[in-house]
Structure 1
C-alpha cells in the first residue's frame, strides 16, 4: 500500500509531498475503493468495512463535484484516467 500510495502521489501530484491536491485525493480514494471491492469478493458479510466503503465513495463524489465546479477539463481527464463511471 505504501509504495502504491507514493506512486499515485507522484503521478497525480506536483511532487512527492503533494498529497493534499484534489486529484491526488481522488486517485487515492479510488485505489482504496477498488481494493475494498476485491476484499468484498472474499468476505461477503463484512458489513463494517462496507460502511467505510460507502463513506469513501461519498467523499470521492463530493471531491469530484468540487473539481467539476473548479475545472471541467481536469475533471474530465481524471474521470477518464481513473475509469470512474459518472
Structure 2
C-alpha cells in the first residue's frame, strides 16, 4: 500500500493533534490531500484509467466539502491549513 500505518498516524498527529484523532477535519483534509496527490501522479502515467479519474474527482469533492465546513467554523485554521498543504483556492 502507498500509505503505511505509521505514515498515516504521523499525518494525523501533525494535522489532527493526536495520532488517534482520525476524525478531525484537519486530519481528514490532510489525508485526502495525500491521496489526491498520489492519484494525480498515477494518472499522469496512466491517462486512460477512468476509474481512478472518477475516484480522484470524488475525493476532490469530499475535500472541498470539508474545506467549506472549515471556512464556516474557523477561517483562521482554514487559511493555515491550505497554506501548509499547498492547496489552491
1:2-57 alpha-carbon deviations (Å, 9 max, x no partner): 23212101101121100100000000000000000100111110001110100000
**What does residue 57 of structure 2 align with?**
54
Name stretches of at least 5 consecutive residues in structure 1 with no aligned partner. Answer: none
Aligned length: 86
Moved over 4 A (4+): none
**What does residue 71 of structure 1 align with?**
74
> When the two structures are superposed, what TM-score results if normalisation uses the length of structure 1?
0.96
> When the two structures are superposed, what TM-score results if normalisation uses the length of structure 2?
0.93
Name stretches of at least 5 consecutive residues in structure 2 with no aligned partner. Answer: none
Q: Is 1:19 the equivalent of 2:22?
A: yes
